[in-house]
Amino acid sequence: MPEFITIGEVPAVLVSKKIGRMRYNKEFEVRPGGAEGTVAVGVKRLGHSSGWISQLGEDEFGFYILSLIRGEGVDVSNVHMIPDRQTGIFFRERLPHGEARNFYYRTGSAFSQMGSESLDESYISSAKILHITGIAPALSKSCRKMIRSAVDIAKRHKVLVVFDLNMRTKLWSDEEAKPVMEELMISSDYILPGLEDLRLIYGEKWQEKDFTKYLHDLGCEKIILKLGKEGAMLSLPSGDEIISGYAIENPVDLMGAGDAFAAGFISGILKDMELKEAIDLANIVASLSIQLPGNIESLPTWDEIMKIKKGEKIVKR
């Protein structure tokens, strides 16, 4: 059984080949999307057994996603192909400086129909860490209940829960998201909010300290606040500390950087690192991931991380 498990939808992403308005782009390439798939592969590349729970449509996009994730060495024994349901898809419009804009077509997808009855308690209970995001509960009410059930299973069996908010305003409103997000944050052992996530839920006026105080008062203990190129803030009831990031001057693709961070942090926890060391590893993984195109395609291996930490150059030929 995998030591790490995640639950979520991995859609097929049709990415514009050129930078600019999507309406003028005539060519697209298919890539895997989805925060959970990125984290599953990221944790695997960093040296750990990894499993993914999901549903895909029994269609060509579904077979593409399943084959790709399985080919990366992730356990897909709890991924089910659903006849007469589509695999979720979205289009990605490429913008300058590695930015992008997404257009979702995920309503009624195979994963959005997933319910608590699809969960295998023995599979989740055998893991050390369960990773969830705020994307899955945004897709449907049945997904919301399913994620809540997965967290309950994990808590019963003392499986650590890592929750990455991944707020998506195109999938649900801040009013709808707030109570669900807060319930999941309170129930999780580690929460990994991005500053942008929190501002989308609570408003633009709050600063880092306002968020961490509010979340601690809510009942959250271990908060890792992602700050982009600045790194991350480790916030505990005893105080806050910034763990500096690794600035990249010309990022190629910023999409998936937060998920690469999550993979690095989770790997650090699985390696029994101290929290600050795990966050530093997360910062390294995130910085490497934005230097190449693609979410999964850009994720580094553990050997690459070790060479960089030792100051070695990666052999090119």
Average pLDDT over residues 227-236: 92
Q: Residue 313's pLDDT is what?
A: 55
Residue 249 confidence (pLDDT) above 80? no
Residue 281 confidence (pLDDT) above 60? yes
Fold of the domain spanning 4-9+35-86+116-301 = UDP-N-acetylmuramoyl-L-alanine:D-glutamate ligase (3.40.1190)
- pLDDT tens column, 79-112: 999 999 999 998 888 888 777 788 888 889 999 9
Q: Residue 229's pLDDT is what?
A: 84
Q: Residue 317's pLDDT is what?
A: 37
Give the percent of the chain with pLDDT over 70: 97
More confident residue, 272 or 96: 272
Q: Residue 18's pLDDT is what?
A: 85
The domain spans of the chain are 4-9+35-86+116-301
Mean pLDDT of the chain: 91
- pLDDT tens column, 167-219: 998 889 999 999 999 999 999 999 999 999 999 999 888 888 889 999 999 99
Q: Residue 314's pLDDT is what?
A: 47
Residue 315 confidence (pLDDT) above 50? no
Is 259 among the residues known to form the active site? yes
Q: Which of 164, 189, 197, 259 is an active site residue?
A: 259
Average pLDDT over residues 120-147: 97
C-alpha 113/C-alpha 9 separation (Å) is 11
Average pLDDT over residues 111-125: 96
- pLDDT tens column, 24-61: 888 888 889 889 999 999 999 999 999 999 999 999 99
